[in-house]
Structure 1
Amino acid sequence: MKKTITFILLFLLICSGSSYNVYAKETPPSVSADSAVVLDAATGEILYAKNPDSAYPPASTTKIMTALLTLENTNLDDKVVIGNNPPAVEGTRLGLFPGEELTVRDLLYGLLLASDNDCAEALAEHISGSLHKFAAKMNTRAKELGAKNTNFINPTGLFNEKHKTSARDLSLIMRELHKNPEYSKIATSISYTIPPTNKSSKPRTVWNENKLVQKQSMYYYSGCQGGKTGYTIQSLHSYTAVATRNGETLIVALVHDKNKTFFPDSISLFNFGFNNFQLVKLYSKGDLVTTYNKNKLSVPLIADSNFYYVKEKGDKALPHLSIKNENLSFKLFKVGDVVSSADIYFKGKNIGKLNLSSGISHDEKQILNSDIIENIIIRNKYAIPVVIALLVVIAIFTVKKIYTLSK
């Protein structure tokens, strides 16, 4: 009995001296908006979702698509001549005049900082010639980005019952916009002064309405790299923002908020994402992933790009790869050519594909000098026709290459 008690006491003493890391995921915050997401910008992974695909009128958060198309289709120093329609638009305006000349940069600051509708229409007409054509361009680009529940009618976000987007779609647009460094430069500016023009003798200053970048605001959020508010009476409030911490970038999107709590709600969502999830680089471009070994051919397979994934902090699970079953024996390739790919799985979920490039070259001479031909002859009763066909293919390829080089 004494031995048993001694053993129990010794066991408890050992356990009490051991330390364990206990990871507890926070309860996701409650937000007012009817559609909301937190998206990891590097991977596209959704870390938080509330009705992510429910579409609502987004008001002026529409302007992030207008800004994206502007940055993709113009130069900031391009001159824009204002037409007759933008000065007459409803809602917030910079006060443009027909025939006035400004730069794309001036109009983008008015668009993103002060949410001026006349700037939005002026940019749309400059890029596409008409608002209708620009809206079509907006919808095409949205589909390219994977936005499946979006339909834009105008570049401003002025209410139209057919003009809608979801939080997921809005985050995808912001994700693409944030890739352009000019966006954050503009969107984190507290103010911008438009110099006098041919129609305005006085400079005009626009101020940033995004409180997450205003250091004097109670809602200032360190690491915020831009955001866009939106409101109309019919559309209610919407908001999207992007923030970076410790090398990880998250995007928050909130659509259809009747309580106007999007600033504190965004802070709660950013904190939830940063506190509970971790961005991990699985491979860097140029890393050796594996080695192909078949038919006495050894090919180092190299990561063709960086590959990241997101996991909950403290999660010890590791991703695994499923390499595409390729026969490289008869393929001709050079160092750096993509020769295969791998699907990457994490906890049973496919989290992406990684292209694999070759670390060596494999040319015609290597094929002919290998044991492949001999193995075909030994094992295949149709060896001679197969070998002849192989030689013909190699000869044709060689002739084509010589012809191409001689042109």
Structure 2
Amino acid sequence: MRPYWTGLMLALVLSFLFVPAVPVQASSGPQITGKSAIMIDAQNGQVLYAKNPDAHMFPASTTKILTAVIALERGKLSDQVTVPREAVTAGGSAIGLQEGERLTLKDLLYAMLLSSANDAAVTIADHIAGSVPGFAALMNEKARQIGARESHFVNPDGMPDPQHFTTARDLAVITRYAMQNAEFRKIVDTSHRNISRADADRSKGPPQEYLWNHNKLLHLYDGTIGVKPGYTVEAGQCLAAAAQRNGRELITVVLDSQGAAIYSDTEALFNYGFSSFQLKQLAGRGQRITSLSVPYGAGPAPVLTAAPFYYDFPAGGQEQGQVEQKVVMEQNMQAPLAAGQKVGQLIFLAHGRELGRVDLVTGQAVNRRVETRWPVWAAGTAIVLLVLRLRVLGRRRSRVRLPRYLR
């Protein structure tokens, strides 16, 4: 995936929208088995449910969500990737890749995200960064960049390690970011797929080319669109999931659940989220809020919202009709201002509680008034000095008396 995609996604996720991390209360919420969990609205990142969301937890194979993000942003789906020795000896789930075998990056991503193949994850890491430690450094850099700052990764597959951990909140942030990539969404919503392993040595037996998605929620819960389960003894049952209903999209993360409870936990969270909240748009992108005049400016400029703002209100509640707006402008501004330059924030409040905020930007450029520009002053000063100089010279000439014979 090209760098422009990365910049665009970061802008959408990080730049203009802030929603408080404290979950809004609709009711007490479901009782779940998982030791740590969270549910967020995919559109605005708002937390709708949380249980120990900031506890450090082993992520198991949900790690591969971040691995896929980095592969999609730094590689090409058509890349021909050679399987290294390190991948062949990777522990845990695998599809039996062979050293020296060549596959496309696309097929490796399907193997990793559908069949949770650790050998595919290590192969991807080696291809992108040259080594597992090098790839882990990219994972940590990316996690911090998108706001998952309480996590630390040391491998691309999620195998247990004391230094490999995340939180439910961080994993939700990573999953939300990943689900904004169309190719990632397509892969994790695929139930089964055949891949090509033309280079595999078939004298060792038929290679696994048929992949099925280990995420049983795709078949258990109507509206599920991905994303990734995981399990190790140390991590317990883990699942990051996404589902859509009536134009809304929710993301859940449940960590360290037990057995089939990982799916019943997730279903309970989705049922709660879809039935207990209503999403309302409080501001549109480019909505005019006020106008702005600044010192030395040639004129006022419209002040617009930089992005839309949505908020999930408890269903049937009165709060959504009692939202107030507060404009806070930047201090010490003066012309010139560029079009689209941030000049303040619009804050949404209900009963004194902040719901969130959106950046305010100029709707057009604000140029300096002509008379305030230093080149104009400089030119004017030069002209005045020139005139004065000419007058002085003229007076001197008038004082010179010609000889009598020249008069």
Task: Look up the match of 1:392.
Answer: 374
In 2: Cα distance, 1:59 partner to 1:239 partner: 9
Change in Cα spacing, 1:393 to 1:349, as seen in structure 2 (3 Å) is farther
Query: Contact conserved, 1:65 with 1:173, CA < 8 A, in 2?
Result: yes
Aligned residues with identical type, % of pairs: 34
Task: Look up the match of 2:393.
Answer: none
Query: Contact conserved, 1:107 with 1:123, CA < 8 A, in 2?
Result: yes
1:156 maps to amino acid:
D
In 2: Cα distance, 1:186 partner to 1:272 partner: 27
Q: Deviations over 1:319-374 (max 9, x none)?
A: 4122315566x41245x33251214132234444433333344334x564xxxxxx
Q: Deviations over 1:265-321 (max 9, x none)?
A: 101101111212222222222221222367894432122222223322233221412
Task: Look up the match of 2:363.
Answer: 359
**In angstroms, what is the RMSD of aligned CA positions?**
2.4
Query: Contact conserved, 2:57 with 2:165, CA < 8 A, in 1?
Result: yes
Task: Look up the match of 1:341.
Answer: 344
1:190 maps to amino acid:
S
In 2: Cα distance, 1:26 partner to 1:280 partner: 19
The residue correspondences of 1:140-289 to structure 2 (distance < 5 A) are 140-200=141-201, 204-214=209-219, 219=220, 221-289=221-289
Change in Cα spacing, 1:224 to 1:286, as seen in structure 2 (3 Å) is same
Secondary structure at the counterpart of residue 269 of structure 1: helix
Secondary structure at the counterpart of residue 222 of structure 1: coil
Q: How far did 1:78 drift?
A: 1.0
In 2: Cα distance, 1:299 partner to 1:33 partner: 52
Q: Deviations over 1:184-239 (max 9, x none)?
A: 2111111110123122556710101111212xxxx2x2222212111112221111
Task: Look up the match of 1:116.
Answer: 117
In 2: Cα distance, 1:227 partner to 1:391 partner: 57
Secondary structure at the counterpart of residue 48 of structure 2: strand
Q: Deviations over 1:152-197 (max 9, x none)?
A: 1211111112221111111111011101011121111111101231
1:132 maps to amino acid:
P
Task: Look up the match of 1:85.
Answer: 86
Q: How far did 1:245 drift?
A: 2.0
Task: Look up the match of 1:386.
Answer: none
Give TM-score, length-normalised by structure 2.
Answer: 0.78
Query: Contact conserved, 1:145 with 1:173, CA < 8 A, in 2?
Result: yes
Give TM-score, length-normalised by structure 1.
Answer: 0.78
Query: Contact conserved, 1:343 with 1:350, CA < 8 A, in 2?
Result: no
Query: Contact conserved, 1:291 with 1:299, CA < 8 A, in 2?
Result: yes
In 2: Cα distance, 1:115 partner to 1:317 partner: 47
Secondary structure at the counterpart of residue 85 of structure 1: helix
Task: Look up the match of 1:36.
Answer: 37
Q: How far did 1:252 drift?
A: 0.3
The residue correspondences of 1:318-337 to structure 2 (distance < 5 A) are 318-325=323-330, 330-333=334-337, 336-337=339-340
Residues 279-288 or 183-192, more deviating: 279-288
1:127 maps to amino acid:
I
Change in Cα spacing, 1:238 to 1:298, as seen in structure 2 (3 Å) is same
The residue correspondences of 1:28-67 to structure 2 (distance < 5 A) are 28-67=29-68
Q: How far did 1:248 drift?
A: 2.1
In 2: Cα distance, 1:209 partner to 1:339 partner: 45
Highest Rg: 1 or 2?
A: 2
